[in-house]
Chain A
Amino acid sequence: MINENGDVILSVSDLYAEVDGTEILKGLNLQVKAGEIHAVMGLNGSGKSTLSKVLAGHPEYHVTHGDVLFRGKPLLDLEAHERSLAGIFLAFQYPLEIPGVSNLDFLRVAYNAQRKAKGLDEIDVFDFDDLIEEKLDVVKMDASFLERSVNEGFSGGEKKRNEILQMALLEPKLAILDETDSGLDIDALKTVAQGVNQLTTPDNAVVLITHYQRLLNYITPDYVHVMADGRIIKTGPKELALELEERGYDWVLADAKVEAAV
Chain B
Amino acid sequence: MSIQTSSDRDLATPTQASADRDAYLKQLLQQVSRQSFASSVMPKLGETATALVHEQSLPTTRDEEWRFTDLSTLLKTSFAAAGSQRPTVSAEDLAAVMLPETQNSRLVFVNGVYAPELSAVSGLPEGVWVGGLIEGYADPTLQLKIAQRLAQQSGSNEVFTALNTAGFQDAALIWVKRNQIVEQPIHVLFVSVDEGQPVIDQPRCLAIAEANSGVTLIEEYWGLGDHTHFTNGVTEIWLEENAQVNHSRIQRQGSAAVHIGKTAVSQARDSRYVCNAVSLGANLSRHNLEVFQSGEQTDTRLYGLSAIAHTQLADTHSVVSLTKPHGSFEQLHKSIVDNRAHAVFNGKVFVPQAAQLTNASQLNRNLMLSGKARVDTKPQLEIVADNVKCAHGATVSQLEADEIFYLQSRGISQDQAQRLLIYGFAMEIIEKIPILSLKQTLTEKITEWTN
> A residues bordering B, Cβ < 8 Å?
56-60, 79-81, 83-85, 89-90, 92, 95-96, 98-101, 106, 109-110, 113-114, 117, 149, 166, 170
The one of A81, A89, A101 in contact with B427, judged by C-beta atoms closer than 8 angstroms, is A101
The minimal Cβ–Cβ distance linking B99 to chain A, given in whole angstroms, is: 23
- The interface residues of chain B lying within 8 Å CB-to-CB of A99 are 424-425, 428
Instruction: Choose from B400, B411, B423, B431 the contact partner of A85 (Cβ within 8 Å).
Output: B411
- Asked if A101 contacts B424 (CB within 8 A), the reply is yes
Q: Which residues of B contact A (CB under 8 A)?
A: 400-403, 405-414, 416-417, 420-421, 423-428, 431
Whole-angstrom CA separation of A89 from B417 in the bound complex: 17
Measured CB to CB, the closest approach of chain A to B433, in angstroms, equals 13
Taking a contact as CB atoms under 8 Å apart, the answer to whether A59 and B413 are in contact is: no
Is B401's CB under 8 angstroms from A60's CB?
A: yes
Given pairs A81-B412, A100-B431, 14 additional interface contacts (CB within 8 A): A56-B409, A59-B405, A60-B401, A81-B411, A81-B413, A84-B411, A95-B406, A98-B420, A100-B423, A100-B426, A100-B427, A106-B420, A110-B410, A113-B413
Question: Chain A residues with Cβ under 8 A from B424's Cβ?
Answer: 98-101, 149
- Given known pairs A99-B424, A99-B428, A100-B425, the reply for A109 and B403 (CB within 8 Å) is no
Q: Provide the bound-state CA to CA distance between A110 and B420, in Å.
A: 11
Please pick, from A80, A89, A113, the residue contacting B405 in the complex, using a CB distance under 8 A: A80
Q: B427: nearest residue on chain A (CB-CB)?
A: A100
Known: A100-B428, A109-B420, A149-B424. A79 touches B408 (CB 8 A): yes
B178 to chain A, nearest CB (A): 37
- List A contacts of B413 (CB < 8 A): 79, 81, 113
- Interchain CA distance A89-B410 in the complex, whole Å: 7
Contacts of A114 in B (CB 8 A): 411
Whole-angstrom CA separation of A56 from B405 in the bound complex: 9
Least distance between A53 CB and chain B CB atoms (Å): 8
- CA of A114 to CA of B421, assembled, Å: 19
Contacts of B425 in A (CB 8 A): 99-100
List residues of chain B with CB within 8 A of the CB of A100: 423-428, 431
- Residue pair B423, A101 in contact (C-beta under 8 Å): yes
Given the contacts A58-B405, A80-B405, A170 and B410 also touching, CB distance less than 8 Å: yes
- In whole angstroms, how far apart are the Cα atoms of A84 and B407 in the complex? 10
Can you list 11 A-B contacts with CB-CB less than 8 angstroms, sorted by A residue number?
Answer: A57-B408, A80-B405, A80-B408, A80-B414, A83-B409, A84-B410, A96-B406, A98-B420, A101-B423, A110-B407, A113-B416
Q: Is the CB of A59 within 8 A of B401?
A: yes
Residue of B nearest to A100 (CB): B424
Bound state CA distance, A79 and B405, in angstroms? 10
Whole-angstrom CA separation of A178 from B410 in the bound complex = 15
Cα–Cα, bound, A55→B420 (Å) = 24
| Pair A98/B411 contact, Cβ less than 8 Å | no
Residues of the B chain whose Cβ atoms lie less than 8 Å from the Cβ of A92:
406, 409
Chain B residues near A117: list those with CB within 8 A: 411
Tell me the complex Cα distance, A56–B410, Å. 10
Q: From A111, which residue of chain B is reached at the shortest CB distance? A: B411
**Residues of B close to A101: CB separation below 8 A:** 420-421, 423-424, 427
Measured CB to CB, the closest approach of chain B to A56, in angstroms, equals 5
Residues of A within 8 A of B410 (CB): 81, 84, 106, 110, 113, 166, 170
CB closest chain-B residue, reference A85: B411
Q: Report how far A101 CA is from B409 CA in the complex, Å.
A: 16
- Residue with the highest number of chain A CB atoms closer than 10 Å, among B410, B413, B431: B410
CA distance A79 to B411 in the complex (A): 10
